[in-house]
Amino acid sequence: MNRNGCYTRRHFLAQSGFGLSSLGALWLLQQEKLLGKPVDLVPQHFDTLPKVPPFQPRARAMISMFMQGGPSQIDLFDPKPELDKRNGQKFTGEIKFDDAANASTKLMASPWRFKKHGQSGIEVSELLPYFSQIVDDVTLIRGMQTGVSNHDQSINAMQTGGILGGRPTAGSWLTYALGSESQELPAYVALTDPRGLPVRGVGNWSQGWLPSLYQGTAVRSAEPRMANLDPAPHLRGAAQSQYLDFLGELNRAHLARHPAESDLEARISSYALAGRLQVAAKEALDIRGESEATRKMYGVDDPESGEFATRCLIARRLIERGVRFVQLFTGNQTWDHHKGIFKGLPSACKYVDRGAAALVMDLKERGLLDSTVVHWGGEMGRLPVIEYDGGRDVVGRDHNTYGFSMWLAGGGFKAGVVHGETDEFGHRAVKDIVTHHDYHATLLHLFGFDHAKLTFQRNGSAMALTDNKEARVVSEILT
């Protein structure tokens, strides 16, 4: 048995931590196919061992802060003097409302002031005082566009490259392509917001049709933090060690009755490895060892921003320990300010601004920024017109997937540049448009891959993150 189809990798795999699933093909195989070489392969299996990309990579890890809901570019990143001038006037252009019942065509200028910052002089809203301090380290994209309706589809586009659910996320693709530099920690970590899951829920870290090995591992803010990796609270420490000691005794006695059964020995050592994985995870998530200066920089004790900042700090610790891809989430519709934007947007900004900026500064100080892509952005932006036209406490902005902003830092992105423009109202991207496909192609390029060639064979087709759609590497924003 085990000699056909689904293979046994017994002994040696007991040495490698998260090696699981046993079916399928490595992307290298696909590469060779493209060269037309018939490849004789050892039985296909997948793992998360580190792999070398075909081209010289710029980045080796990525931290993405996914601002689900759609941060208002007009109020944060994309100042529009023309909009200020025409505040309250009718907008006459084409516009698509997702919430028609409460729509209006009345233009609304941003109530917040913009100021130039840093040497680059990038204009940023007063709502982001910490981000203002790192503008010289980022590429600010003002011409993002997915052009699809509503949250679900646009999240799918940004996270997975296609608008339908069920595809692998960018994080899954990266771990599929590159494995991880740590075999003691999951290759791909999703740091969830204790306040709740974003729209699309667990689909945000799903491996879709890639082998399940490449699913993101969710790390909760409260214990047990990782399913199966954290002991139940009452078994932590001595109780579990005693259990493992007793189990070890049982297994050694059993092995003595079955001499030379190497599988039994491998199983014994897999418990030892499991124990090491638990220790490694616990250590990586424990920020108590961080210096006072670092804790201060992130503001981990700040009641308003400390939770997110702590996750930013954990993200850095994970990347330092070899994790390939970490994504931080904000809770369900944190940025979906249809209504009450005057209150809602400042509070959402406060929640994330300090931690996000500290993360970039910290990575830079530690010399990790050059090799780590940092991303901050959501699935959409917002319209320049008022939604819920009922006064200051009520007004908000509806969805806009035709023109929005996000920022990137490190890993080969230029520092202190703005790329792309929206129209005079901040509505549609009109210059240097970057689609979700372009964004993904650019990411893969930085990690050493041609987006069209990093594929997975499924139903007889080569599937890609960019969904076999037109996609270009935005080389203008790369160093």
Show contacts with other proteins in window 75-134 (CB under 8 A). 90, 95, 97, 99-105
Q: How far is the CB of 21 from other proteins (least distance, A)?
A: 7
Q: How far is CA 306 from CA 296, 351, 370, in A?
A: 10, 8, 26
Which of 234/288 has CB closer to other proteins?
A: 234
DSSP letters for 404-429: EEEEEESTTB-SSEEE-EE-TTS-SE
Phi-psi region of 58 (alpha: psi -120 to 50; beta: other; left: phi over 0): alpha
- Min CB(60)–other proteins separation in Å: 24
7 binds other proteins (CB under 8 A): yes
| Number of residues lying near other proteins (CB under 8 A) | 113
Q: Does 282 bind other proteins (CB under 8 A)?
A: no
DSSP of 82-130, one letter per residue?
A: HHHHTTTSBP-S----SSGGGEEEEE---SS-EEEETTTTEEEETT-TT
State in angstroms the smallest separation of the CB of 240 from other proteins.
7
Q: CB-hemisphere CA count at 13 Å for 264? A: 15
Residue whose CB is less far from other proteins, 217 or 305: 217
Kindly list the distances between the CA atom of residue 382 and the CA atoms of 3, 68, 175, 406, 428, in Å, as whole numbers in the listed order. 56, 12, 32, 13, 10
- The CA distance from 398 to 338, in Å, is 5
**Between 55 and 243, whose beta carbon lies closer to other proteins?**
243
Alpha carbon distance, N-terminus to C-terminus of the chain: 53
- Which residue in 289, 163, 230, 213 sits closest to 25, CA to CA? 213
CA distance 82 to 110: 11
What is the closest distance, in whole angstroms, from the C-beta atom of residue 417 to other proteins in the complex? 35
Select the residue interacting with other proteins from 215, 372, 435, 466 (CB under 8 A). 215
Q: Which of 4, 56, 119, 475 binds other proteins (CB under 8 A)?
A: 4
Work out whether 194 is an interface residue with other proteins (CB under 8 A).
no
Q: Is the peptide bond before 168 cis (omega within 30 degrees of 0)?
A: no
> Please, which residues bridge with residue 458 across strands?
461
Looking at the Cβ atoms of 13 and 361, the one nearer to other proteins is 13
263 is a site residue for other proteins (CB under 8 A): yes
Residues 6+ apart with CB under 8 A from 223: 230, 233
The verdict on 149 binding other proteins (CB under 8 A) reads no
CB of 165 to other proteins, least distance (A): 6
Question: Which residues lie below 8 Å from residue 84, measured CB to CB, with a gap of 6+?
Answer: 109, 110
Amino acid at 416: G
Could you say whether residue 196 binds other proteins (CB under 8 A)? Answer: yes
**81, 111, 121, 224: which one contacts other proteins (CB under 8 A)?**
224
3-state DSSP assignment of residue 456: strand
Q: How far is the CB of 379 from other proteins (least distance, A)?
A: 12
CA pair distance 164, 154, nearest whole angstrom? 9
Least separation, in Å, of the C-beta of 331 and other proteins? 10
Of residues 84, 116, 121, 261, which one binds other proteins by CB under 8 A? 261
Q: Does 256 bind other proteins (CB under 8 A)?
A: no
Question: Residue from 49, 120, 129, 266 that binds other proteins (CB under 8 A)?
Answer: 266
Q: Which of residues 167-186 bind other proteins (CB under 8 A)?
A: 167
**Closer Cβ to other proteins, 133 or 251, answer by number:** 251
In sequence order, the β-bridge partners of residue 203 are none
Report 337-396 residues binding other proteins (CB under 8 A).
none
279 is a site residue for other proteins (CB under 8 A): no
Judged by beta carbon, residue 260 or residue 293, the one nearer other proteins is: 260
Q: Does 221 bind other proteins (CB under 8 A)?
A: no
Q: Which of 410, 240, 257 is nearest to 319 (CA)?
A: 410
Q: Which is nearer to other proteins, 28 or 478 (CB)?
A: 28
Q: How far is the CB of 289 from other proteins (least distance, A)?
A: 23
Instruction: Assign 235 to helix, strand or coil.
Output: helix
Residue 143 as a binder of other proteins (CB under 8 A): the answer is no
The whole-angstrom distance between residue 16's C-alpha and the CA centroid of its chain comes to: 25
478, 410 contact by CB (below 8 A): no
Q: Taking Cα atoms as reference points, which of 164, 162, 170, 128 lies closest to residue 146?
A: 162
Binding residues among 434-473 for other proteins as defined by CB under 8 A: 457, 459-461
> From the CB of 385, what's the least distance to other proteins, in Å?
9
Exactly one of 11, 85, 113, 296 binds other proteins (CB under 8 A); that residue is 11
Shortest approach of other proteins to residue 268 CB, angstroms?
8
**Contacting other proteins within 27-66 (CB under 8 A):** 29, 33, 36-44
Q: 208 or 411: whose CB is closer to other proteins? A: 208
Q: Choose one: 120-128, 137-145, 173-181, 255-263; the region binding other proteins (CB under 8 A).
A: 255-263
Output the smallest distance, CB 50 to other proteins, in A: 18
